[in-house]
Amino acid sequence: MLLAVGVVIVGVALLIWGADRFVDGASSVAKNLRVPPMVIGLTIVSIGTSLPEMIVSAMAAFDGNRNLGIGNALGSNIANIGLVLGITALIIPLTVTSMTLRREMPVLFLVTFLAFALMADGELSFNDGLVLVAGLMMLLAWMTRIGLKDRHDPLIEEFTDAIPVNMSMWTSVMWFVIGLVVLIASSRMVVWGAVEIAHYLGVSDLIIGLTIVAIGTSLPELVAAVASALKGEADLAIGNVIGSNMFNILAVLAMPALIYPGAFASEALLRDFPIMLAFTVALFVVSFGLKGGKVTRFEGGLLASAFTAYLYLLYLQA
């Protein structure tokens, strides 16, 4: 048990480090190939925070464990809103000004309902995975189109600023390869450790995916959100949550569907998906409703408390 816990902790740390190196390398390669910085920021950089979830879900599916991957996707979305945004707003209230965020929020609801429609029959098929990937491609194209049209949006500028500068092509390729290798190796560690913990505690792989793995792979979003908020970049903090949640649904859920399609645990649809939807509605309300575009400390406390209550519910049912 202690070995498994240690492997998960080390694996998550390496997963976060590897994702950062991979995104830096990929961004620099694209920049050296003269891809517009705005396009890089809206695609490679924005999808980078969901890389840990994607790789872990893919590795779990390769091991024949689709429930862990599905739990990771749903649990990460719940953690992004309840834990990440809740703690960030507790530290410093967030003011939303970006028009991009106001356009992205309805798209997040659309993507969420698409996933529900695909999962409503109790299984994720290979064709469902293809639909999710097609949705991901459409999302990236739409975000890039917005970026090219609205060049002075604060969120666009902040994404662009996240691209590393002055890195040679050789160095970029080196970090790209190192990041990819570390991502694959560390994800294997996380999946192995998570499954061992589940077996030791006698709980389902879905529960472990919703809790330990989801919280661990959401740490990059927490670090990014708190850092952005402390620098006064509230749009980027909330934008990371909205963008990551869209990518989690389209890209992370696609992994078990494409690699190991089939029926999944019914609790994911009957318990966790409605809770994820409720947190998404809460995100919309606190971001744009009650205080006219401001997430207060009180609202952050409510989100964090709701997340704690969700974990307690899982504990009781497990």
Contacts (Cβ under 8 Å, ≥6 apart) of 178: 18, 21, 25
Q: 253 pLDDT band (50/70/90 cuts)?
A: very high
Q: How far apart are CA 177 and CA 215, in angstroms?
A: 26
Residue 124 is inside which H or E element, if any? strand 123-124
| pLDDT tens, residue by residue, 84-102 | 889 888 888 877 766 666 7
Has residue 196 got a pLDDT over 70?
Answer: yes
| pLDDT tens, residue by residue, 109-144 | 999 999 999 999 999 999 999 999 999 999 888 877
Alpha carbon distances (Å) from 279 to 56, 71, 282, 305? 23, 16, 5, 12
Q: Count of residues for the chain?
A: 318
Choice between 201 and 41, residue whose per-residue pLDDT is larger: 201
> Which domains are delineated in the chain?
2-317 (1.20.1420.30)
| pLDDT tens, residue by residue, 15-31 | 878 877 877 888 787 77
Has residue 299 got a pLDDT over 60?
Answer: yes
Q: 157 pLDDT band (50/70/90 cuts)?
A: low
For the entire predicted model, the pTM comes to: 0.85
pLDDT of residue 155: 59
pLDDT of residue 234: 67
